Chains A and B, each alone.
Chain A
Amino acid sequence: DTAVSQTPKYLVTQMGNDKSIKCEQNLGHDTMYWYKQDSKKFLKIMFSYNNKELIINETVPNRFSPKSPDKAHLNLHINSLELGDSAVYFCASRAGQGNYEQYFGPGTRLTVT
């Protein structure tokens, strides 16, 4: 069973389009994250939700909007895509406070042309 899954795995789209990436975890974790990894492998946190509530919102353009319909899902919607949005986006989950281990999804490679 996949612990943290993301769809799609690859996403190629044109500038100006709107797209969504879905994430689901079946670990029963309370906390979920979105990270962006650029071509230099730097992994930057974007958002974190705990029990469906937003708790971390880093300096991310407001074109990016996370949505957590329930504890097991954290989706990322991106409006008006730009070339600089091209990256690999990772979803992760964590049991919550008191636990360091994060479980990452396989990533979604977004290419904006």
Chain B
Amino acid sequence: LAKTTQPISMDSYEGQEVNITCSHNNIATNDYITWYQQFPSQGPRFIIQGYKTKVTNEVASLFIPADRKSSTLSLPRVSLSDTAVYYCLVGDVNDYKLSFGAGTTVTVRA
């Protein structure tokens, strides 16, 4: 399993864009990049997944450079309700084990 490194915490203000970068230098050819969001007192929730270039959905965008050794989750115009822990996972879709790291705690202030 590829090891991932993310910042421990990030602070932002309402209306700003938040970008969280995850490093995964030993990502394998078959690995995909997946992000989860966890609100306090809840289980993690799948946000977005990608293999290369850019993926966008109603919640976030995921940018993956050509070498795939890192990825950036972008949260546009955050609100207070986006305060959560964000986890970056890297793994083969055929693996049963997808390991979560410590995540990035994003705090959005008014």
Contacts and interface: CB of A to CB of B under 8 A. Distances in A.
Interface in B26-71: 32, 34, 36, 38, 41-46, 49
Interface stretch (B16-24, B74-82, B92-100): B92-100
Contacts of A90: 43-44
A45 interface: yes
Contacts of B38: 41
Contact of A45 (B42, B43, B99, B103): B99
A102 B96 contact: no
B105 interface: yes
Contacts of B102: 40-42
A92 B43 contact: yes
Taking residues whose C-beta sits less than 8 angstroms from the other chain, chain B's interface range is 20 to 34
B34 to A, nearest CB: 5
Contact of B45 (A48, A55, A104): A104
Interface stretch (A13-21, A68-76, A77-85, A93-101): A93-101
Given A105-B43, A106-B42, A106-B43, A100 B98 contact: yes
B85 interface: yes
Contacts, number: 62
B96 A50 contact: yes
Contacts of B85: 41
Contact of B32 (A50, A100, A105): A100
A66 interface: no
A97 B105 contact: no
A45 B87 CA distance: 14
Given A48-B97, A98-B93, A41 B42 contact: no
Contacts of B46: 100-103
